[in-house]
């Protein structure tokens, strides 16, 4: 999706930058903000699945896209993490009133994020984009919760969607670094070539001892030969 930075007036861009900076510094509980310095009109976020819902334990990546008519028109929201939810379409598009007819320019992005998080707690089957999820929510909640939790386990847990923690900076250690098996294999062996020297010295010592024995045997054999004469 193309950036709308050039389409928005400078005063709107300043307001957006100010709000995004405030969100990054003090995000709503359970929500992480990933602002982009290159494109302020596309805001990436991660939302923790609320406790007591089929989405608990998951981390769901999402993005808000500010169109050229923002803030007169609401931002468009998309889930990047696959989710089974009545108000989320198969391509991740989000159907929530605050992003449609109830939008007001003064609501702001924080309100949008909180509303989407609340949608995970209270889905609205009346405006379902995923008709199957909406039907199950009304007719068989147990099956709906089971499906939603299964997709959460598959797509939103175990680091597959990106956790709320920041990635580690700098080069990562080699794969075997700190491996206890590697340490055990080398335990007790001197370092800096000392082990090699010891082996070399041991080999030299054995060779010297063998030569001495040969010389002594030759002397003994010579004495025996002289006695026979």
Nearest to 8 by CA among 89, 75, 107, 96: 75
| CA quadruple 158, 162, 165, 168: dihedral sign | positive
Which residues are annotated as catalytic? 95
List helix spans (H) across 26-172.
108-121, 131-139, 141-155
DSSP class of 162: -
Place of tokens 């060779």: 207
Quote helix, strand, coil % in the chain, to nearest 5.
Answer: 45, 10, 45
Structure tokens at 17: 């930058």
List helix spans (H) across 9-122.
10-25, 108-121
Distance CA 221, CA 206 (A): 23
């Amino acid at each position: 999706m193309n950036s709308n930075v050039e389409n928005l007036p400078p005063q709107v861009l300043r307001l957006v930058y100010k709000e995004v900076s405030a969100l990054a510094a003090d995000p709503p509980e359970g929500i992480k903000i990933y602002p982009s310095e290159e494109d302020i009109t596309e805001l990436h976020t991660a939302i923790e699945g609320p406790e007591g819902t089929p989405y608990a334990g998951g981390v769901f990546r999402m993005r808000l896209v500010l169109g050229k008519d923002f803030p007169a028109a609401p931002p468009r929201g998309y889930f990047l993490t696959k989710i089974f939810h009545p108000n989320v379409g198969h391509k991740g598009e989000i159907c929530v009133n605050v992003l449609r007819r109830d939008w007001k320019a003064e609501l702001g992005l924080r309100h949008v994020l909180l509303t989407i998080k609340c949608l995970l707690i209270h889905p609205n089957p009346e405006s379902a984009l995923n008709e199957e999820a909406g039907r199950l929510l009304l007719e068989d909640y147990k099956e709906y919760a089971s499906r939603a939790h299964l997709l959460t386990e598959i797509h939103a847990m175990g680091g597959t969607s990106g956790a709320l923690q920041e990635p580690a900076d700098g080069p990562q250690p080699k794969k075997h670094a700190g491996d206890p098996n590697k340490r055990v294999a080398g335990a007790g062996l001197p370092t800096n070539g000392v082990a090699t020297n010891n082996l070399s010295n041991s080999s030299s010592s054995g060779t010297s001892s063998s030569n001495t024995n040969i010389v002594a045997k030759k002397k003994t054999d010579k004495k025996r030969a002289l006695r026979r004469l």
